[in-house]
Amino acid sequence: MAAQEQAKIQAEKAKEAMEFKAINTIRTLSMDAVQAANSGHPGTAMAMAPVVYTLWNEALAFDPDDPIWPNRDRFVLSIGHASMLLYSILHLTQVKAVNGKYERMGELSVPLDDIKRFRQLDSRCPGHPEYRWTSGVETTTGPLGQGVATSVGMAIASKWQAAHFNRPGFEMFSYDTYAICGDGCMMEGLSHEAASLAAHLKLDNLCWIYDNNKITIEGHTEWAFSEDVATRFVGYGWNVVRVGDANDLNMMRRALNTFKKTKDRPTLIIVDSHIAWGAPNKQDTHAAHGEPLGEEEIRLTKKNYGWPDEKFLVPEDVLAHYKAGIGERGGKLRRDWFDKFAEYKKAHAELADHLERMQRRALPENWDKDLPVYPADAKGVAGRDAGGKVLNQLAKNVPWLMGGSADLAPSTKTRLTFEGAGDFINPESHLGDYGGRNFHFGVREHAMHAIVNGLSLSKIKPYGSQFLIFSDYARTAIRLSAIMEIPAVHIFTHDSIGVGEDGPTHQPIEHLGSLRAIPGLVTLRPGDANEVVEAWRFIMKSRHEPVALILTRQPLPTLDRTKYNSAEGLQKGGYVVGDAADAKPDVILIGTGSEVSLCVSAHEELAKQGVKSRVVSIPSWEVFEHQTAAYKESVLPAAVKARVCVEQAGSFGWERYAGDTGCIIAMKSFGASAPLKELQKKFGFTTENVIERAKEQIAKKA
């Protein structure tokens, strides 16, 4: 009996030794990579290595051989500056790479050579984790708070997919979402918005792990942060548990188990850690957090770990340990899922087809059937009204098109009103359920757009809507959707001084220019109801580009498309709406959105006066600039220097189309509070002014 007990003790000691060897491999890789780059943050990666080890090797439902299988757990490193924590675990668990066509490549997502080139050009290990660049990275992080907010979208997606796809005997979706955050994330207002909504929705599949190390870049958090985070989250309605020592694996296991057992609320695990500085004599905590340790400090730290004085050492038994842990467990979970899915395809063929199409970002058959065609109408339709009608028809055809607004659906017209659309609400509320397709984000503009990113990363086709003026509150999330190349849809109404009496605080001026300045974001400002239809056709077919759809509050005249060219021209970003009879205009009138009809009105009056003009609509500068030089020349011939550009927003950027001598009718101030017609007269957005400027342009070129 004594021998058996002794053997058990020895086995337990060997197990613990192996665990900490695996943990120390994460630490030493992080130290070495940051030192080699002479740039980066080693401290948090070292301190939180035991937490990541426990989560990945023992709890995470994730298969390194297939990092995109649909029911995998999601892991988000919201503290993106600690990226070596993620790159190390991706290498040690031998996660495989996936290409843009969702094909598994077989090679490692993070080869050791890329860790050696941490933060260097073209390395798979950039300074902060980047989605699409490194397989296993579920979302791009770096701006603090973005990761945790995006994780709420992933948790929502899991709940919705379960409600939509699961059937008796077929639990196709049940994944959890984990996010590691720090003091910086907790300070950002974005995390407050996201945490509040997650608790309201009772997302019990969401777990945030808070690294409570009391250190930020400037130094100790006592300088700027003293709130009781646990009490705050209890107040939201979260379950809060504490791990008193990041190195205590058993405490971490118990905390994760508590999360798994907790129902009806998300979980916050507060992990007390000390920012890692390696050997006991290190005192400069700022340097340890935000700078390389230095060669001597690394040598002493490795000695303290009982580690060989060797750079980028990855012991073979450590790789075998991870393979026996997450490798075997995750592989079985994934194989079982696909075996079940094969049966699901036979029992629920249409749902299975939709599930597969979602994963490929493909659309169902007849996705655009019954879209409206608007007849000519001088009174017209507001962009937001046309958008709401088109959105509702598309959502009938595409079951995974869904979204909501920042408490503005009655104004943005983005509520899905057809039978069965429903509301995404915790089922206990009796107001909806997790299968509903209308999201209620509350007055949380920034969190909404980050959550929309999380939904898109989960392969749902999501949208979030609000007034254009408040896009300022959400630029970071919108920018990240462009960096990640995900087809998130950001809808903005009340797009100009057309807001009228609400005045300068609600009249967007610089916002169109600022959105157009974001690389990879397509900004669409349709000019009438039929252009709105075409805008949504573009949006639905987009697989790698986020879109900012800009719509009016006020009615827009619906152009007579038997007289003017088809709105299908929107698909090229810009097109000739109307032209001189001989297609040789003396002046070109260029507009977007509500100003297209203004240009058309001036064009018609100029024709009566014997002046030849062309009207060009450029609803998307970005799409237009991607056309061939020949096409752009056919729309805006270089020989025609007389040009008038019209937009009820700031003039910034219009020089590219007006040319050096062209005229730009735009806003030079923040607007004013008055009825729209008075504002248009005050700021020059009238037919008479466009005509006068056009004639001046022609005279200058004579």
Residues assigned a catalytic role: 445
Cβ–Cβ < 8 Å for 160, 460: yes
Pairwise CA distance, residues 112 & 94, whole Å? 10
Q: ∠ CA 226-232-236 to the nearest 5 degrees?
A: 160
CA atoms within 13 A on the CB side of 479: 12
- Give the residue from 605, 543, 535, 617 showing the smallest Cα distance to 576: 617
Angle in degrees, CA 257, 260, 263, rounded to 5: 130
Q: Which residues make beta-bridge pairs with 491?
A: 465, 549
Amino acid residing at 487: P
CB atoms within 10 A of CB 585: 25
Q: Collect all residues with Cβ–Cβ distance below 8 Å to 265 and sequence separation of at least 6.
A: 199, 202, 203, 204, 237, 238, 239
Encoding tokens for residue 23?
Answer: 């943990």
Alpha carbons 451 and 190: distance in angstroms, whole number: 11
Burial of 301-326, coded b for 16+ CB within 10 Å and e otherwise, reads bbeebebeeebebeeeebbebbbebb
Number of Cβ within 10 Å of residue 581's Cβ equals 8
**Cα separation, 177 vs 78, whole angstroms:** 12
Are 424 and 401 in contact by the 8 Å Cβ rule? The answer is: no
Q: H-type helices in 94-145, by residue range? A: 112-116
- Give the Cα separation of 418 and 396 in Å (integer): 8
With contact defined as beta carbons under 8 Å apart, do 695 and 645 qualify? no
Distances (CA, A) of 430 to 275, 417, 426, 427, 677: 46, 18, 8, 6, 45
Phi, psi angles (nearest 5°) of residue 241: -130, 160
Q: Where are the alpha helices (DSSP H) in 117-228?
A: 146-165, 183-187, 189-200
Query: 3-class SS at 629?
Result: helix
Treating both helix axes as pointing N-terminal to C-terminal, what angle do 189-200 and 146-165 enclose, rounded to 10 degrees? Answer: 20
3-state secondary structure of 511: helix
Which candidate, 216, 228, 227, 140, places its Cα nearest to that of 184? Answer: 216
CA angle 266–268–274, rounded 5-degree value: 165
Strand order in the sheet with 177-181: 74-77, 177-181, 206-212, 267-272, 239-243
Which of 673, 661, 650, 663 is closest to 599 using CA atoms?
663
Tell me the two tokens of residue 462: 């999501």
| 548: Cα within 13 Å, side-chain hemisphere | 35
